[in-house]
Structure 1
């Protein structure tokens, strides 16, 4: 029974904690570049080592080691990306008048080196596990890469909620390539294909997996894939991402929040005078971000579900002069 229950809990915790930890490390200005560089290097070496030593290990422990090694390797390149070290040949904001193929070309130039780094990680994993019995690392990386590419395309084409408040300052320019609007046709297509792939994984887990290694390996990968699908649905809901990883946000108010929501007002966040620590200020700012997202959600709901009868009722019961006289 532990072969079925422990892997999804472990995968969910690693997914949640690793994301928040990377955001915390990169977003905190108090953490210098040296610490970030050492952390990225340590994760890179530890990940490669775990993948290499577990390549021929077909025990449950081998599956956990390969899965963890891939997450560590992915975390290393995420630090390099979010810290702004490995982005692209044009790490600049998207011009406001860019459209069509020009916008696509500029977006690719903004993340080209990052995409090359991801492919290099995949090649390294393939080289370390080629001909080996334990393919957990390769399948884990494939799940992460496919879902990440799908998320990037959806953000580029347009989604109602981009959750770009979580982006650290060095990569704030990337939010200008996101489109905040109703989803494109690619969203239902990508989510449908992802769910179909997840169903196949679960089917194999139930019908084919027999050994503890196979059960743990398939469960880890399928759980991670399911969490990636859930992340796609976060693009339609304004609250979960902030709620899950708000503890990993930097203390400063991001440029994104300032542009989208304006200055933090007294009716959203209490005055900052008398706050005893930077962490208290960060909590209040996080509350302001959540409040802004809730307001956006309510506004979007009103737009999708208009109440024309309400406006008509007001016009019938109150004089026009009274309405126009209100502030």
Structure 2
């Protein structure tokens, strides 16, 4: 990474949040609690799924990978953000910047595909129960999860490679709390039209494809639920699906706002707020939404509680 006068940049300065320093302590505690809750919740889900035989089904196979992905991409973002509240100059090396962007972009993209797979699994289980074991076989599930990581790696590699092929002549101070593409493109003195096009095309495709899979899956699911004879069953199913869709809507809405709007209409501070939702809040909520509202998980936790406490 070089400036316009060919000066090599070995480190970048992350400006973080614009809040006054007297609020930094409060923000540090809040985001630390969110991060710890996220790590504990997702780690607990992974351990629970791998230690209880009743969870050896496709939906829990996807769920443990979703938990792993959430841990990875929130861990790529949050520690550096927490550091910004403890230091006036939050520096990151150039190599660290590249690694953080690669890790974050890979797992954030994989997260979208895993959410789509979980929606598809719900669709097959509810709408095609007789063919469930054939359609969602172990081999198919492994291939789907592997595909999600491959798509994440491709997106991250392309975005990172094209971003750091640019020249930067304005500053090495980045108005964000972690390494992302839009804030660094704002510093470039090169023509970034290709970079913006790639960002919109890749992110747009990933969000649109996975989003349509989720939407159509839930349309068919809701249509099937409405045909249920039991009103209590319909109410319970609607409650569970509504919580899932709420989390998905917040996640996809934040990502779309961050990457698919024109940069001239997208203030840096609003981008930071959107990043907080999909980078820290959603990974914390996912264990509660997808697991702790589940009857089987609740029963397994009760068994563990009786055994140890």
The TM-score by the shorter chain falls in which range?
0.3 to 0.5
Q: With structure 1 as the length reference, what TM-score do the two structures score?
A: 0.37
Task: Identify, as 1 or 2, the structure richer in helix.
Answer: 2
Q: With structure 2 as the length reference, what TM-score do the two structures score?
A: 0.38
Higher relative contact order (CA 8 A, sep 6+): 2
